[in-house]
């Protein structure tokens, strides 16, 4: 029998929970600071925590054993993450968390579309309906009446 720790669903729910807390904590945290500088502070905290986790669990890997393709795509992912964080914090500085976060979560829709286009993934009719509902829901939650 698999434990919850071996379940992608468990980790995805934790990810969503922490992402929600990120929006709330960040909205309060950026109240009196430049959003780009706030992103830098957040990034330093992430680096320190991840460094401690890797050191404590012995997960370090020799850098020479990593392929150039892996480096390329991890660097591209890091650049995309940094751009996303900068934009997200700027949006939080200017808007309400309850409106910014749902629009940010349109990334779910974009991942589905990009996965089909670039990774050759296949989605069925029910999957596409879900993608459309996520898009519609994000827009409706973000809509300010």
User: Per-residue pLDDT averaged across 10-29, rounded?
Assistant: 90
Both tokens of 56, joined, read 């404590």
Whether 70 and 129 share a structural domain: no
Whether 69 and 139 share a structural domain: no
Domain presence at residue 29: yes
Span 93-129, pLDDT tens digits: 999 999 999 999 999 999 999 999 999 999 999 999 9
Whether 24 and 84 share a structural domain: yes
Whether 80 and 114 share a structural domain: no
User: Residue 118 sits in which domain range?
Assistant: 105-145
How distant, in Å, are the alpha carbons of 57, 67, 74, 83 from that of 64?
Answer: 20, 8, 15, 27
**DSSP state string for 102-128:** HHHTTHHHHHHHHHHHHH-----HHHH
| Phi, psi at 60, each rounded to 5° | -60, 140
Give me the number of domains the chain comprises.
2
At 3, the pLDDT band (50, 70, 90 cuts) reads confident
Q: What is the pTM of this model?
A: 0.82
């Amino acid at each position: 029998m698999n434990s919850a720790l071996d379940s992608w669903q468990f980790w995805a729910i934790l990810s969503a929970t922490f992402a929600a807390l990120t929006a709330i904590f960040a909205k309060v945290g950026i109240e009196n600071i430049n959003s780009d500088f706030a992103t830098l502070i957040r990034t330093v905290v992430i680096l320190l925590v991840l460094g401690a986790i890797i050191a404590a669990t012995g997960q370090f890997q020799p850098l020479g054993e990593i392929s150039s393709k892996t480096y390329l795509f991890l660097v591209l992912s890091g650049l995309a993450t940094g751009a996303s964080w900068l934009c997200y914090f700027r949006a939080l500085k200017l808007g309400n968390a309850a409106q910014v976060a749902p629009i940010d979560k349109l990334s779910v829709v974009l991942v589905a579309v990009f996965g089909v286009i670039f990774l050759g993934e296949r989605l069925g009719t029910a999957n596409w309906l879900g993608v459309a509902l996520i898009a519609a829901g994000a827009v409706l939650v973000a809509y300010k009446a």
